[in-house]
């Protein structure tokens, strides 16, 4: 078919846009810039739902930098750098991940409660050399996958040990998706500080698309206990969180705008023990979120999001187990606005995503600082 010059140009433009559009799915930097919205499918969401490896358009290798100013983070609880490669093997896909620190394991260790319970610094270390293997296949319209998570550290001289083991299972088909993450083992132990043991953690999430509305739900239970060097229990902590919500997504001309509202109920409990007074914290919040991801041109994508609790439903109460008066009772609670922005570049087979800035909560300035800029940088190559 003979094309006029104008049609030729248009055809080339469509091809260029199509090529550029292939690599829209990216990284932690993208996920963070979009407020970790539940509806996103990305190389980073594979760590949540392994079946997402079939929804990304092809095989890939991806790299993520770690948090800024993360001196010593390799031993501590901060996020380190990570990378993952996914390849097709016949009808299945195989994935290998290095460095990813699972959010389902040792989550409570990273929470404020961990520090508040004065758990020794020697026990506050992250997964060491974490390794994840993923396998998945398609069954008709449905794709499924599973991931094994493993890490281990053992110094026989100092008797310092760390280990984690976990499983993730996920499926995605048509309008629905679901995933389960089990933390089967989670321990940190040193001669001087005793032992941190994570209880078997469970988190699950699912979602369903109805036209442009995405209904979603999450459940997470986790906990840990800390015993001192004499094996006397010093602290025991459990938490359960349930979230249900809805998200509206509008896509047009390479731009997506989304709004969401969710209801989150969280209950955390600290048991009475030798070193810790027991307490119970409950909260009920209604987080709202607005986000946008826009293709500025064929190679540049800009994205940002803002999240905040609706003050009509934003309560948090902490009561001692002794029955004394509440030690914290926020109704409604204080500012928790989170603002994030990022940029993505699509360059042939490579996408590069970077966070521009992210600020959270009261008392922080919503401006660009060197601490926040490029806090996350991700690069993905699509085979």
Partner 1 sequence: MRLYILLAVLFISITSQQSFATKARMMALSNSKHVLDEQQIFNNPIILNHLEPFVSLESGTGVVSSTTTATSNAEGMTSFKMKDGARLALSLGHQDTHIVFSRKFINDLALLSFSMAQNPVHLFYANTDVDTTYAFGLQYSNYRDNVLRTGESSTGISFGAELGPWQLSAQYVLNSQAETVLNRFDGSGFLMGDLQYSTDSNNFYVVYTSMPARAYSTISLVESHNLQTLRIGLIESNLKDGHDPFWGAEILTTNIECKVKGGLNCQRSARSVVLPVWFGIESQVTPWMILRSSIKQTVLFNQSKDDVGYSSALFQNGTGAASDYVEGPDSVQISMGMGLDFGNVIVDGTMQTATTTFVDLSNFLTQVSLKYKF
**Footprint of partner 1 on this chain (CB under 8 A)?**
61, 63-70, 73-75, 80-83, 85, 96, 98-99, 126-129, 131, 152-158, 343, 345, 347-350, 352, 354, 356, 370, 373-375, 377, 379, 381, 383
- What distances in angstroms separate CA 26 from CA 81, 95, 362, 365, one per listed residue? 15, 16, 30, 28
CA 314/CA 318 separation, integer angstroms: 14
Q: Residue 101 or residue 168: which is nearer to partner 1 going by CB?
A: 101
Q: How far is the CB of 330 from partner 1 (least distance, A)?
A: 34
User: Can you list the pairs that 189-192 forms with residues at least 24 positions away whose Cβ atoms lie under 8 Å?
Assistant: 189/123, 189/159, 189/160, 189/161, 189/162, 190/120, 190/122, 190/123, 190/158, 190/159, 190/160, 190/161, 191/158, 191/159, 191/160, 191/229, 192/120, 192/122, 192/229
Q: How far is the CB of 106 from partner 1 (least distance, A)?
A: 13
Q: How far is the CB of 359 from partner 1 (least distance, A)?
A: 16
Q: How far is the CB of 281 from partner 1 (least distance, A)?
A: 32
Identify which of 40, 79, 45, 267 has the alpha carbon closest to the alpha carbon of residue 168. Answer: 45
Cβ-contact 117, 154 below 8 angstroms: no
Q: Residue 163 or residue 273: which is nearer to partner 1 going by CB?
A: 163
Q: Residue 209 or residue 381: which is nearer to partner 1 going by CB?
A: 381
Q: How far is the CB of 29 from partner 1 (least distance, A)?
A: 10
Q: Residue 15 or residue 347: which is nearer to partner 1 going by CB?
A: 347
Q: How far is the CB of 242 from partner 1 (least distance, A)?
A: 33
Q: Residue 155 or residue 212: which is nearer to partner 1 going by CB?
A: 155
Q: Residue 85 or residue 142: which is nearer to partner 1 going by CB?
A: 85
Identify which of 62, 59, 64, 65 has the alpha carbon closest to the alpha carbon of residue 22. Answer: 59
């Amino acid at each position: 078919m003979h094309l006029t010059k104008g049609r030729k140009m248009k055809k080339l433009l469509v091809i260029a846009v199509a090529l550029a559009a292939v690599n829209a799915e990216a990284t932690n930097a993208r996920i963070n810039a979009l407020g970790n919205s539940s509806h996103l499918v990305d190389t980073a969401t594979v760590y949540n739902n392994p079946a997402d490896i079939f929804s990304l358009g092809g095989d890939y290798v991806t790299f993520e930098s770690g948090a800024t100013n993360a001196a010593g983070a390799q031993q501590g609880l901060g996020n380190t750098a990570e990378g993952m490669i996914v390849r097709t093997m016949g009808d299945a896909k195989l994935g290998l991940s290095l460095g990813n620190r699972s959010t389902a394991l040792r989550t409570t260790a990273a929470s404020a409660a961990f520090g508040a319970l004065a758990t020794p610094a020697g026990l506050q270390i992250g997964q060491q050399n974490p390794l994840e293997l993923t396998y998945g296949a398609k069954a008709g319209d449905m794709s499924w996958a599973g991931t094994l998570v493993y890490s281990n550290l053992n110094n026989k001289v100092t008797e310092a040990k760390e280990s984690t083991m976990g499983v993730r299972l996920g499926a995605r088909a048509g309008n629905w998706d679901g995933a389960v993450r089990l933390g089967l083992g989670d321990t940190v132990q040193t001669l001087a500080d005793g032992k941190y043991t994570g209880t078997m953690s469970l988190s699950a999430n699912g979602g369903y698309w109805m036209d442009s509305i995405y209904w979603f739900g999450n459940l997470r239970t986790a906990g840990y206990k800390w015993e001192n060097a004499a094996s006397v229990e010093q602290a025991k902590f459990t938490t359960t969180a349930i979230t249900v919500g809805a998200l509206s997504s509008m896509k047009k001309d390479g731009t997506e705008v989304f709004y969401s509202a969710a209801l989150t109920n969280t209950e955390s409990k600290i048991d009475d023990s030798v070193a810790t007074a027991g307490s119970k914290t409950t909260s009920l919040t209604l987080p709202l979120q607005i986000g946008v991801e826009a293709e500025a041109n064929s190679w540049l994508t800009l994205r940002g999001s803002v999240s905040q609790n609706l003050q009509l439903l934003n309560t948090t109460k902490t009561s001692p187990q002794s029955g004394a008066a509440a030690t914290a009772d926020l109704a409604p609670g204080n500012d928790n606005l989170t603002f994030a922005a990022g940029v993505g570049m699509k360059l042939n087979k490579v996408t590069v995503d970077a966070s521009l800035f992210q600020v959270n909560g009261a008392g922080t300035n919503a401006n660009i600082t060197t601490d926040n800029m490029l806090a996350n940088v991700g690069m993905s190559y699509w085979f």
